[in-house]
Amino acid sequence: MEQKTFALKGNIIYTKERTRFEVMEQGWLVCEEGRVRDVYSVLPEELKGIPVEDMEDRLIIPGLTDLHIHAPQYTFRSLGMDMELLEWLETNTFPEESKYKDAEYAKKAYEMFAEQLKKSATVRACIFGTIHNEATLILMDLLEEAGLHTMVGKVNMDRNSPDYLCEPSAEASAQATREWLKAVADRKYKHTRPILTPRFTPSCTDELMELLKEIQTETHLPMQSHLSENPGEIAWVKELCPWSEFYGDAYDKFGLFGGDCPTVMAHCVYSGKEEMALMKEKGVFVAHCPESNTNLSSGVAPVRRYLEEGLHVGLGSDVAGGSTENLFTAMSQAIQASKLRWRLQDDSLKPLTAEEVFYMASKGGGAFFGKTGSFEPGYEFDAVIIDDSRLIHPQPLTVKQRLERVIYLGDEREVYGKYACGEKIL
C-alpha cells in the first residue's frame, strides 16, 4: 500500500543505546512509506509542505513491544496470586484456559483483551493463545482488526496436563498445528503472524518437539516458550529430560533454540553460564517479566548480566503471572526488582536504569520484529503519543523527567494516539 510522507511534531524521546535517551524538544518525526525518514529539529526545505500533525506539548515515543503475554489469562489477572508457578498453573491457569474450547466464551474474553491491548502503549506483541484452534483464530482476527502487529501461537501440550487441557498425542497436536497454520494462511492477515508455541518442556513430549521441529523446518516460523522460570520447574525438566545438560538444552536438542528461526524465551530467571552462552550463540531473545517473577515468587532474573553479555533482552507483561498489560508497569517493576536483587542477592549487578528498561521495552524487544522500537532512519514508523497532563506537577519538567514519571505513573490514560508502520491505529 502506498503511504504518504508526513510528520508528527512534538517532544520526541527514544533510545538508540541502552545507556541514554535521545531527546528532541519540539522536533519533527518524519514518516516515509511506513518507515522513519529521520528526526529533525528544523524541517528541511524539501519536506516543507508535507502534512504535519502537531502533537503540541505531548511526548512522542516509539511503539512498545510486549515480548510475552498470555491472552486467555487476561480474565484472571490479579486473582489467586499466592502460589508458585506449578501449583498456580494447575489451580488457576489450566481450568481457565480450558474454557476457550467454547468459541463463544473465547470471543467474549478475547474482545476485552484486544480492546485493552489496543488502548495501551504496546504496538507489537508475542502472544500465547490456548491449545484450541478456533479460539486462537478468533484471537488473531481481533488483533488484526485492532491494527496491532503481533505473533500469536496456538499452544502445544501433550503431557503432564489435565485431561481437559491435554492434546491426545504428539501426532494430534502437530496435526492440529498444521490445520491452524493452513487456516491462518487462508486468512491473509496483514500484521498478525503465527508463532510456534510449545508451552514449556514439562507440557511437551520429545516426540511432539520433534514434530514441531519438522513443521519449523518446512515453514521457518519463529518460536516462543518458557525457560528457567522456577526452581521446581527446572528440577522437573531435569527429571523429564535426564540427558539434557541444562534446561535450554532440552529445547536445543530438538533444534528449537534459535539459530535460523527467531526464538523468544520468557523469564530466564535461573539461566546459568552455559545456558546464557548458548542463548547468545543462537540469538535467543530473553523476555524479562519482572511482575510475574514477583507474583509467582519465581525470583529476579540477572538482567544486567544478560545485557552486558550482549544477549537480546526485551520486556514481557506475562499476564496473568503479571497483573497488567501496561508495559510502563513492567519497566518500573524491572527497575525495582533489580534494586532488591542488588541489595539482597548480588551487589555485583547494579540496578537497572530508566534508560535501560525503556530500551528493553522499545528497541530491545522490538528487534524480535525487525527494525522496530526506535526512531533511527529506516525503522518501522511505530509511534505512541503520550499526553501526560494528568500527571500534574507544580514546576516545568524536562522531557526526560516527564518520561521517567510516565514509566512509574503512566497507563493507557496517557496514550493519546498510536501508529504502526505509519498507520494511525488509535
Partner in contact with 256, chosen from ligand GUN, Fe ion, none, beta carbon below 5 to 8 Å by kind: none
Number of residue whose CB is nearest ligand GUN = 321
Using left for φ > 0, alpha for ψ between -120 and 50, and beta otherwise, residue 415 falls in beta
**Considering beta carbons, is residue 99 or 400 the nearer one to Fe ion?**
99
Q: How far is the CB of 280 from ligand GUN (least distance, A)?
A: 23
Nearer to ligand GUN, 138 or 237 (CB): 237
Question: What is the SS3 assignment for 233?
Answer: helix
Alpha-helical regions (H) of 147-261: 170-187, 206-219, 231-240, 247-252
Segment 316-335, which members bind Fe ion (CB under 5 A)?
Answer: 318
**Residue 242: burial class (beta carbons within 10 Å; 0-12, 13-18, 19+):** exposed
* Parallel, antiparallel or unpaired: strands 64-70 and 122-128: parallel
Q: How many residues bind Fe ion (CB under 5 A)?
A: 2
- Does 292 bind ligand GUN (CB under 6 A)? Our answer is yes
Minimum distance from CB of 201 to ligand GUN (Å)?
Answer: 9
| C-beta of 69 vs 383, nearer to Fe ion | 69
**Residue 291 engages Fe ion in binding (rule: CB under 5 A):** no
- Note whether 199 binds ligand GUN by CB under 6 A: yes
Beta-sheet strand order (sheet of 285-288): 223-227, 263-267, 285-288, 312-315
Work out whether 200 is an interface residue with ligand GUN (CB under 6 A): yes
Residues 6+ positions from 65 with CB-CB distance below 8 Å: 122, 123, 124, 125, 314, 315, 361, 362, 365, 366, 368, 369, 372, 373
Q: How far apart are CA 289 and CA 57, in angstroms?
A: 32
Question: Which of 320, 352 has the CB closer to ligand GUN?
Answer: 320
229 lies in the binding site for ligand GUN (CB under 6 A): yes
3-class SS letters over 283-340: CCEEEECHHHHHHCCCCCCCHHHHHHHCCEEEECCCECCECCCCHHHHHHHHHHHHHH
Nearer to Fe ion, 85 or 383 (CB): 85
The minimum distance between CB 238 and ligand GUN, in angstroms, equals: 16
Q: Considering only residues 313-342, where is the footprint of ligand GUN by CB under 6 A? A: 318, 321
Q: Taking CB within 5 to 8 Å according to partner kind, which of Fe ion, ligand GUN, none is near residue 85?
A: ligand GUN
Q: How far is the CB of 265 from ligand GUN (least distance, A)?
A: 11
Residues within window 72-111 making contact with ligand GUN, judged by CB under 6 A: 85, 89, 93
Q: What are phi and psi of 159, to 5 degrees?
A: -155, 165
Examine residue 404 and tell whether it contacts Fe ion (CB under 5 A). no
Residue 288 in the binding site for ligand GUN (CB under 6 A): no
The CB density around residue 329, as the number of other CB atoms within 10 Å, is 20
Binding site for ligand GUN (CB under 6 A): 70, 85, 89, 93, 199-200, 226, 229, 292, 318, 321
Binding site for Fe ion (CB under 5 A): 266, 318
